[in-house]
A and B are shown apart, each in its own frame.
Chain A
């Protein structure tokens, strides 16, 4: 059987390894989960997200979110919006009044139906200032993975207390979700490619418009 063959070959290949404890055998000189010294993480986060050609707007408080959602959708001429079950209904109330069709994912939408919808709104779990990255763990207020992928516009709401300085701090916050078997998606700007002559093009298969609302 190939499993036992492969493991036997590995063990034969590693006869020079005499220490059984991997941690003692090869020390890793690295402090996990350390914060990077960043003076203004929220400003840096916004700057770096914009750098990827995403749009970023700032809400002074949660009260401003409904207006900013409606304005963002209007700007992109989005006519329909997928709303995951856990999203605060207040966020999308003004957009609905302005005529945007709200679509629930219950029962789960088919790929084809989702492909006809202009936009999706999600919350998020963590933002990374140094890299301008937003992470989703796809719980109730973010919806299953497909929802934030197929529509051409992603409206993403993130609170300032969710923004950390860097990748190590973000991993520390995400590890519990991953250990509970939640899928995790990191998003750094809209979908992009550099495959033709290394010139960057925003917008391939994922949402071509990423609209980020920073609350607080």
Chain B
């Protein structure tokens, strides 16, 4: 996909980053990515999309797993219809165990699947503006904006206290 050019900045502290975020948001810029070595809940609050749909997927998958677990038990035992230990073919009580386990299993698999999907986790190289220090001790902001806004963004970032700012100085040819 073709992406708009980016302006990137690094911060050694979290507070300037938050300040930069705030000013960027005030400036109406919302296509931005924050990189951080630790989860930054305050930054989340300042970013446009705040909710993750993963729990709904987990819930749906859990319900499906539960229904599927019971269905598996009932269909499979009815297929041969063998009496064991005087218990009826469809014995609800033991099937609850299978239902529960499959609830957890399917919900867990769905959670993992959706987090990979939404966080775009698959073997790939990191983004161009990613700095290896982001996993150590450095925070970063990468802003996607039109060419004409890049100078302004870079300024905003610098004002907020960014250590380095890239992509804002020279206008794209």
Physical interaction between A and B: no
